[in-house]
Amino acid sequence: MKEILLNKSGKKIILLGNEAVCRGAIEAGVDFVSTYPGTPASEIGNTFWQIKEDFKKINPKFHFEFSTNEKVAMEAAAGAAISGFKSLVAMKNFGLNVASDFLCTLMYSGIEGSMVIFVADDPSCWSSAQSEQNTRFYSLMAHIPTLEPSEPQEFKDFTKFAFNLSAQFKIPVMIRSTTRASHQSGPVTLGEIPNSKFQIPKFVKDPKKFSTMPPRVLEMKKELFEKIEKIKKQFEKSNLNKIIYGNSREKLGILTSGVSFLYVMEALKKLNLKLPVLKLGFIYPLPERKILNFLKKLKSVLIVEELEPYLEREIAILAKKENLKIKIFGKGEKIEGGRIWKERKAILPQIGELKPEYVEIAISKILNKKPSFNYQLHLKKFEKLKIPARPPILCPGCPYWAVVNAIKKVVDLQKVIFGGEIGCYMLFSHKVINLQDYLYCMGSSTSIAHGISKTSKQKVITFIGDSSFFHAGIPALINTVFNQSNPLIIILENQTTAMTGHQPHPGVGDGRVVKVEEIVRACGIKNVKVIDQVKNPEEFEKGLKEFLEKDEASVIIARHICALLEKKKKT
């Protein structure tokens, strides 16, 4: 891992896309990094966590933290940036939902130093429950300049570029990634790590700058729009938007970005075709002139992107505006007269990640050409196989097994409803455990339980991990007291953020430890027990029975360290 701090310009090292973002930030001279762990973005935090002391020797101003949640992380990074520092904040797609309240406001004021926001989506939900959220639509809503790198080298280069752009226009810049881009490893050629300036910037008071009170807020919006217009002009000329096979006379072109670009080039190689390709490095604001000039030479264009059509819609609107007669292939949406509806044939899926062969098949269909391999026949053969699914399950020795066993022993599983939450315990959905009747987002298990118990009067047991509790569980807990409902909340305290790679949280941090039971009591909960469910299973069972009878909300803190972490600490 220390290799990432090598100051050897020109040397090649192996990095994951996410690690390359860290290197890009290091080469840009980053001062402040904050995050809340979430896969597929976790490596940003993990990397800085491991190197922070060494990096401080290069940049003494440097600070890294795991913040309590993504909103807090973004606000902290903004605090650094409005004081003139260079900050990076990283999160997964759902984290941006949590932080969006702040993001949409921050864009109005802009920042003083520079600020880069890294967000990773997870097509196919490889490392996510919840949803297959497409974060790109936030770029439109918040008006945040957004870049999409394709491979590790670009992750580094784009990050460095993003810091410069942010400093130039005093605006936060987003880098948006997807699982296959972020968890792609490859050689990266290093650049130079700058000598840190010992000058320490300061927050400068200016009532016009960072206070979004009306009527000033509407002026700020105007200033934001002006910045975006200027950035757009710059993007038109930028070589981060590339045209490949620009001299091709083919009448079908391809427009793409991110990891999809790599699939496009793979498909063209396999088909031995040289179709013109426009690879967008920026997905907001779009370089409209560049796109139009590209489209003008074509009769049809295939838009290759993962998840819901973002580029496709924007391009369709642009083509309509310019009265361009061009056929658009992609997710099969047709836009006319401001309305969107499905055309009969979608050529690429909106659900699930793309694969190189999907793009090859799409191109073949449009050109009425045979693909390089009989994918259809092969797929039929493959789909006939009976392959038992092997979903993830709690690790052997996981302390949560003791919770599961106790519940199965003393709780009426038919009568009680079980509320799930984001963390290892969402594996309670596994068919051999089967203790999860609903699952949404972080912090939701208890608030939903409140709604159920206030209306249907059914008893609900909810689970929430310690890290999730600090992240978003506390307001929900207070609500059960304030508005009087009676769920039994089991806080699974394994003393880490286990699922994303054992990051610390406020209950176990290096600094002053925040005790879960103290918070629970301070929230007004009267029925509180702290039990080690592994060492004292009988006490845990007794606690369950007792608290299930209560007419008010009650909390059991099941405190036993994660088995993997315990093993790690011993070795």
Partner 1 sequence: MRSIRKKEKNMKKDFNLIIVGVGGQGQITLLRILEEAALAENKDFKGSELHGLSQRGGSVEVHFRMGKNILSPLVSQGDADLILALEMQESLRSLYYASPKTQFLLNKLIIPIPGENIVPEDQIINSIKNFTKKIEIVEASKICKEKFQKEVLAGVYLLGYAQKRKLLPLRKESLEEGIKKVVPEKYLVENLEALKLSQS
CA atoms within 13 A on the CB side of 64: 23
In the list 202, 233, 242, 535, the residue contacting partner 1 (rule: CB under 8 A) is: 242
Query: What is the per-residue binding string for partner 1 in 102-141, x denoting contact by CB under 8 A?
Result: ------------------------xxxx------------
Min. distance of Cβ 501 from partner 1 in angstroms? Answer: 8
CA angle 421, 425, 427 (to 5 degrees): 105
> Distance (Å, rounded) from C-alpha 88 to C-alpha 49?
13
Q: Is 104 exposed, middle or buried (0-12, 13-18, 19+ CB in 10 A)?
A: middle
Cβ at position 393, least distance to partner 1 in Å:
5
Q: Which is nearer to partner 1, 492 or 531 (CB)?
A: 492
DSSP string for residues in 484-536: T---EEEEEE-SSBTTTT-B--TTT-SSSPPPHHHHHHHTT--EEEEE-TTT-
Question: How far apart are the C-alpha atoms of 324 and 525, rounded to whole Å?
Answer: 64
Choice between 305 and 357, CB closer to partner 1:
357
Among 73, 91, 175, 265, binds partner 1 (CB under 8 A): 265
Of positions 233, 317, 342, 382, contacts partner 1 by CB under 8 A: 382
Whole-number minimum distance, CB 60 to partner 1, in Å? 30
- Complex with partner 1: residue 434 or 456, whichever CB lies closer: 434
Per DSSP bridges, beta strands 146-147 and 282-284 are: antiparallel
User: Is position 375 an interface residue for partner 1 (rule: CB under 8 A)?
Assistant: yes
Extract the tokens encoding 23.
Answer: 């290197």
- Please say which residue, 381 or 409, places its beta carbon nearer to partner 1: 381
Alpha-carbon distance of 89 to 460, in angstroms, equals 36
Alpha-carbon span 64 to 56, nearest angstrom: 10
Binding segment toward partner 1, per CB under 8 A, in 51-59, 137-145, 259-267, 486-494: 259-267
Q: Which of 424, 435, 531, 562 binds partner 1 (CB under 8 A)?
A: 424
Q: CA 238, CA 511: separation in Å to the nearest integer?
A: 45
Of all helices (H) and strands (E), which one includes residue 231? helix 216-237
- The CA distance from 502 to 498, in Å, is 4
- Residue with smaller CB distance to partner 1, 361 or 556: 361
Q: Which two tokens stand for residue 258?
A: 């991110």
CA atoms of 234 and 244, how far apart (whole Å): 20
Which of these ranges, 80-88, 321-329, 430-438, 451-459, lies near partner 1 under the rule CB under 8 A? 430-438
Alpha-carbon torsion angle 120, 568, 394, 353, nearest 10: 20
Q: Which residues, 492 to 521, sit near partner 1 by CB under 8 A?
A: 499-501
Residue closer to partner 1 by CB (options 213, 351) is 351
Per-position x/- string for 301-320, each x denoting binding to partner 1 as judged by CB under 8 A, each - no binding: --------------------
Binding segment for partner 1 among 151-159, 227-235, 336-344, 400-408 (CB under 8 A)? Answer: 151-159
Kindly state the DSSP code that residue 298 receives in the 8-state scheme: -
Asked if 351 interacts with partner 1 (CB under 8 A), we say: no
Nearest to 468 by CA among 436, 433, 500: 500
Binding to partner 1 by residue 387, rule CB under 8 A? Answer: yes
Residue 124: which of 116, 134, 139, 114 has the closest Cα?
134
Residue placing its CB nearer to partner 1 in the complex, 44 or 452: 44
d(CA 170, CA 437) in angstroms, rounded, equals 46
> 94: which 2 tokens?
């759902």
Residue with tokens 């044939």: 345
3-state secondary structure of 176: strand
Q: Which is nearer to partner 1, 259 or 519 (CB)?
A: 259
Q: Between residues 185 and 212, which has the closer beta carbon with respect to partner 1?
A: 185
Out of 360, 466, 493, 541, name the contact with partner 1 by CB under 8 A. 360
Q: Give the integer Cα–Cα distance in Å for 219 and 208.
A: 10
The CA-CA-CA angle for residues 459, 463, 467, to 5°, reads 150
Count residues contacting partner 1 (CB under 8 A)?
60
Q: How far is the CB of 271 from partner 1 (least distance, A)?
A: 11
Which listed range, 303-311, 392-400, 455-463, 526-534, lies at the site for partner 1 (CB under 8 A)?
392-400
Q: Residue 433 Cβ, how far from partner 1 at the closest point, in Å?
A: 9
Residue that the structure tokens 């600070």 belong to: 63
Closest CB to partner 1 among residues 241, 445: 241
Q: Using CB under 8 A, which of the segments 39-47, 207-215, 325-333, 481-489 binds partner 1?
A: 39-47
- Looking only at the bridges linking them, the beta strands covering 277-280 and 527-531 are unpaired
Q: Which two tokens stand for residue 355?
A: 């694969």
Q: Could you say whether residue 246 binds partner 1 (CB under 8 A)?
A: no
Which span sits near partner 1 by CB under 8 A: 325-333, 375-383, 456-464, 489-497?
A: 375-383
CB atoms within 10 A of CB 269: 13
Instruction: Work out which of 230, 355, 365, 502 binds partner 1, going by CB under 8 A.
Output: 355
Which position among 325, 345, 370, 431 is part of the footprint of partner 1 (CB under 8 A)? 431
Of the pair 6, 200, the CB lying nearest partner 1 is at: 6
Is residue 213 involved in binding partner 1 (CB under 8 A)?
no
**19, 357, 493, 541: residue in contact with partner 1 (rule CB under 8 A):** 357
Per-residue mark of binding to partner 1, 5-24 (x: CB under 8 A): -------xxx----------
Nearer CB in complex with partner 1: 297/381: 381
Among 254, 427, 488, 516, binds partner 1 (CB under 8 A): 427
Smallest gap, in angstroms, from Cβ of residue 61 to partner 1? 30
Strand partners, 509: none
- ∠ CA 47-48-50, nearest 5°, is 70
Q: Contact 256/275 with Cβ under 8 angstroms?
A: no
Check: CB of residue 64 under 8 Å from CB of residue 33. yes
Strands 460-465 and 417-419: parallel
Q: Site residues (CB under 8 A) for partner 1?
A: 12-14, 39-40, 42-43, 126-129, 150-151, 153-154, 179-180, 183-187, 242, 244, 259, 262-263, 265-266, 269-270, 355-357, 360, 373, 375, 378-379, 381-382, 385-395, 424, 427, 430-432, 499-501
